[in-house]
A and B are shown apart, each in its own frame.
With several copies, the nearest count.
Chain A
Amino acid sequence: MTSTTDVEKKKPFANLADSGAYQKLLAFASLIVLLIGFSIASPNFMQTSNMIAILQATSVNGVLAVAATLVIITGGIDLSVGTLMTFCAVIAGVVLTYMGMPLLLGVAAAIASGAFCGLCSGTFVAKMKIPPFIATLGMMLILKGLSLVISGTRPIYFNDTPGFDQISRGSLIGEVVPAFPIPNGVLILFLVAIAASYILGRTVLGRYTFALGSNEEAVRLSGVNTDAWKMRVYALAGAICGIGGILIASRLNSAQPALGLGYELEAIAAVVIGGTSLSGGRGTILGTLIGALIMAVLTNGLRVLSVAQEWQTVVTGAIIILAVYADMVRRKKAS
């Protein structure tokens, strides 16, 4: 109970450097190295249209990765993001094409059904105490099957809903800055990311998300209704997958019921590359975005370089390991 030491006085500066701009820039290091490398290797890489293609390719995976980030920070895992996205797309297809409802209703239905399925996973995990891996694996299979059942194993096209494809393909930015026609899908990804960041950083839900991942029992013993909060996090993640469903449906102008398997691993990979720990309690949306971008740049760059496809896979694997390694080394130095 003695007085403040000089240590405490020094700390604010240390803190500043820690979270400062310099640090944040460094987090991009692997991404920037990749961008520079590919630009040198191929003159076609650094074109506006290709940059936009990369961003476009990030949009769906990015949104799913944001959803996965939330669940992973609670110490869980969500294997159902990919098939849930598809399920929501199919729901939108049913509402818009089969039932002929107006656009907004379709979007709302997709997001609501996403939230509902997320809530189901959350209930399995929180109330029934099923390990998140199994609960969401089960959901992944259930949703995969249901998408096929509901759609009649057939893609649902949105040709009767004019403007639906503009949700992802159109470009509001392009109308203002014609030189840089960033598609709306990318815009939506950034909006989702900003919203998720805000929720994580500034709201109770976010605080409990971290707390659950850090030490759930301690949170429970603090009198917090941990089950309820966990279910909310899963529901929120589900709703975000619903947005992902709209994005992909709009991009393909159809709901492809068989799609989505394997997307969960890519989303989780983006999360982990972005520095979020699978054991929970730590993570950032910015990191996840960078992770998703690294993956997209890598795949696109190797394609533009026309590397043989089998080698593309090898190089992707190696670079993912290296990128994370570089990040580990950087962080170790920083601390």
Chain B
Amino acid sequence: MSKLVEMVGIDKFFPGVHALKSVQFDLEPGEVHALMGENGAGKSTLMKILSGIYQRDGGALTIEGQEASPRTPREAQDLGIGIIHQELSLMNDLTVAQNIFIGREPRKSFGRLDENALNAQTARIFASMNLKLDPKALVGSLTIAKQQMVEIAKALSHRSKVLIMDEPTAALNDAEIAELFVIIRRLKAEGVGIVYISHKMDELKQITDRVTVMRDGEYVGTVGAADTPINTIIAMMVGREVNEKPLAAPDLGDAGVSLQVKGLNRGQDIQDVSFSVQRGEILGFAGLMGAGRTEVARAIFGADPKDGGEISVHGKVVSINAPKDAVKAGIGYLSEDRKHFGLATGMTVRDNIALASMDLFIGKGGVLNEAEIASTAQSYIKQLGIRTPSDAQEVRLLSGGNQQKVVIAKWLLRDCDILIFDEPTRGIDVGAKSEIYKLLEKLAAQGKTIIVISSELPEILRLSHRIAVMCEGRLTGILPGGKETTQEDIMYLATQRTAAMQVTGTAQ
């Protein structure tokens, strides 16, 4: 029996970048084949070639034994290849159902749309995914997690023979991921071949059959998922061992309170949230999708209006009505949605890194010290290992993970006393992730205050000195960090949905 997909010796060049160097990859029917590698290794590029978005510059591609070179996404679809892109590509002004069926709308005569059928079919797909989402909701009004679910639903609706998932879980929390895995297993049973790209190592053992590892645009090897230790795979990816230190929560003693939030409120989204963080502390924020963590962060930062609440920095009440006030008060916020809120994607890496700190580089008459911007940017590129041909590359041409690192660099350069990181490691590879953890710890050790919002419980547990848990706009409790706290403890608080629940633990 022939393989579903076979790619051999694939080459791809971009201006100044040799993105794929004779890469090989194959996929069997009914298998989940993970594609792993650091940020910028070339995973997305390889899959874009398979799905007809890029054309290969060399090598051979066969689908079910037939030579194929899909030139457009449509041709790839016709060959039975579906893809969930790493970057969301949805039409924000259209409804969920309209997005899912774009190009395949149920029609009546004369090009008239059958909107009822459209919504009904969407509802059916959602039901099969065990997803509660209104088919008529505007996609632009959804959180990214839900948008990601829409992307998944869209790919599923194609009933492809090959389904490529490029970091489908980057924006999802554990419960959602579990649901996705149910779907993947079902598809697998139906004989669909699935390419699975993820930076979450724990997912490998759960669903994948084989793992192919890439590094720097090169093929490293393919191993069985069940019989290869995770550490071996990581070593293949980064070319060295990555060892995770367990968390040692420092004793902060009487280090002063640097950020205090009292009675933060906004409608249903934020209900009476109060907490405080000490200098040198890392406070983790955990919760399910829609718990309101992002809302709290944005309200503190002044990105959204708030109905009420008092914010004090270093004991002084500050009035924050816009992000500029927050930055002035020494608060930085790294958004979870880098494409819309984090990056000026048409500008260079250099300018994006300097974006929040332009005032550092202003000389006489508002003239910028370009050389200094460049050298600063280069030092961050080196420090964070941002894979880019130069600091003058446009950000939109970087791989997803490297874009994320650019946003991090922006806030590191700004050197705020209080840094709020919303899903800082979304789409970042294991190696880089552990570097970022080290970085956050170093920042905390220097006396900075760090708030980390993350949907990955292991990450929260690995990083946080204390853990704040939210549910439906309320802060349901604050747990101590370290070994005493388990994932179950967090989940318990994250699902306390009744309004009558008391806040457990202490808010300093």
Residue A164 is within 8 A (CB to CB) of chain B in the complex: no
Among residues of A, the one whose C-beta sits closest to the C-beta of B344 is: A214
From 355 to 379 in chain B, residues with beta carbon under 8 angstroms from any chain A beta carbon are 355-356, 358-359, 362, 365-368, 370
Complex contacts, B327 vs chain A, CB 8 Å: 222-223
Among residues of A, the one whose C-beta sits closest to the C-beta of B151 is: A218
- Cβ distance A156 to chain B, nearest Cβ, rounded Å: 35
Residue B130 is within 8 A (CB to CB) of chain A in the complex: yes
Q: Mark B362-405, 1 if CB is under 8 A from A, else 0.
A: 10011110100000000000001101111011000000000000
- Cβ distance B20 to chain A, nearest Cβ, rounded Å: 12
Question: Which one of A10, A14, A221 lies within 8 Å of B85 (CB-CB)?
Answer: A221
From 133 to 175 in chain B, residues with beta carbon under 8 angstroms from any chain A beta carbon are 133-134, 136-137, 149, 154, 175
Complex contacts, A215 vs chain B, CB 8 Å: 89-92, 340, 343-346
Complex contacts, B113 vs chain A, CB 8 Å: 202-204, 206-207
Residue B73 is within 8 A (CB to CB) of chain A in the complex: yes
Question: Are A2's CB and B176's CB within 8 A?
Answer: yes
Residue A15 is within 8 A (CB to CB) of chain B in the complex: yes
Residue B268 is within 8 A (CB to CB) of chain A in the complex: yes
Residue B290 is within 8 A (CB to CB) of chain A in the complex: yes
Complex contacts, B340 vs chain A, CB 8 Å: 215, 217-218
- Cβ distance A159 to chain B, nearest Cβ, rounded Å: 39
Question: Are A218's CB and B358's CB within 8 A?
Answer: no
Question: Are A203's CB and B385's CB within 8 A?
Answer: no
Question: B99-107, B187-195, B223-231: which lies at the A interface?
Answer: B99-107
Residue A177 is within 8 A (CB to CB) of chain B in the complex: no
Complex contacts, B435 vs chain A, CB 8 Å: 1
Known A1-B432, A14-B15; judge A211-B115 contact (CB<8 A).
Answer: no
Question: Are A11's CB and B134's CB within 8 A?
Answer: yes
Residue A310 is within 8 A (CB to CB) of chain B in the complex: no
Question: Are A220's CB and B111's CB within 8 A?
Answer: no
- Cβ distance A251 to chain B, nearest Cβ, rounded Å: 31
Q: How large is the interface on B (under 10, 10 to 19, 20 to 34, 35 or more residues)?
A: 35 or more
Q: Mark B209-224, 1 if CB is under 8 A from A, else 0.
A: 0000000100000000
CA–CA, A211 and B77, complex, Å: 19
- Cβ distance A30 to chain B, nearest Cβ, rounded Å: 24
Among residues of A, the one whose C-beta sits closest to the C-beta of B388 is: A8
Question: B25-33, B58-66, B318-326: which lies at the A interface?
Answer: B318-326
Among residues of A, the one whose C-beta sits closest to the C-beta of B72 is: A223
CA–CA, A245 and B322, complex, Å: 38
Known A2-B175, A205-B366; judge A221-B290 contact (CB<8 A).
Answer: no
Residue B245 is within 8 A (CB to CB) of chain A in the complex: no
Question: Are B392's CB and A15's CB within 8 A?
Answer: yes
Question: Which one of A6, A11, A221 lies within 8 Å of B73 (CB-CB)?
Answer: A221
Question: Are B389's CB and A210's CB within 8 A?
Answer: no
Complex contacts, A217 vs chain B, CB 8 Å: 89, 340-341
Complex contacts, B431 vs chain A, CB 8 Å: 1
Question: Are A204's CB and B366's CB within 8 A?
Answer: yes
Residue A47 is within 8 A (CB to CB) of chain B in the complex: no
Question: Are A8's CB and B134's CB within 8 A?
Answer: yes
CA–CA, A10 and B363, complex, Å: 32
Question: Are B103's CB and A224's CB within 8 A?
Answer: yes
Q: Mark A62-97, 1 if CB is under 8 A from B, else 0.
A: 000000000000000000000000000000000000
Complex contacts, B90 vs chain A, CB 8 Å: 215, 218
Residue in A2, A4, A207, A223 with the greatest tally of chain B CB atoms within 10 Å: A223
Question: Which one of B17, B94, B131, B387 lies within 8 Å of A214 (CB-CB)?
Answer: B94
CA–CA, A8 and B110, complex, Å: 35
CA–CA, A5 and B175, complex, Å: 14
CA–CA, A205 and B472, complex, Å: 40
Residue B68 is within 8 A (CB to CB) of chain A in the complex: no
Question: Are B131's CB and A1's CB within 8 A?
Answer: yes
Q: Mark B243-284, 1 if CB is under 8 A from A, else 0.
A: 000000000000000000000000010000000000000000
Known A207-B98, A207-B105; judge A214-B365 contact (CB<8 A).
Answer: no
Question: Are B111's CB and A8's CB within 8 A?
Answer: no
Question: Which one of A6, A12, A210 lies within 8 Å of B94 (CB-CB)?
Answer: A210
Among residues of B, the one whose C-beta sits closest to the C-beta of A2 is: B175
CA–CA, A281 and B365, complex, Å: 23
Question: Are B107's CB and A204's CB within 8 A?
Answer: yes
Residue B5 is within 8 A (CB to CB) of chain A in the complex: no
Known A1-B176, A2-B239, A223-B74; judge A218-B355 contact (CB<8 A).
Answer: yes
Known A14-B16, A223-B327; judge A1-B129 contact (CB<8 A).
Answer: yes
Question: Are A211's CB and B290's CB within 8 A?
Answer: no
Complex contacts, A222 vs chain B, CB 8 Å: 73, 102-103, 154, 323, 327, 355-356, 410, 414
A-B contact pairs, 6 of them (CB 8 A): A2-B385, A5-B472, A7-B16, A7-B389, A224-B355, A225-B322
Query: Chain B residues in contact with chain A, CB under 8 A?
Result: 15-18, 38, 53, 72-74, 76-77, 85, 89-94, 98, 102-103, 105, 107, 110-113, 115, 129-134, 136-137, 149, 154, 175-176, 178-180, 216, 238-239, 268, 288-290, 301, 303, 322-324, 326-328, 332-333, 335, 340-347, 351, 355-356, 358-359, 362, 365-368, 370, 384-385, 387-390, 392-393, 410, 414, 431-432, 435, 472
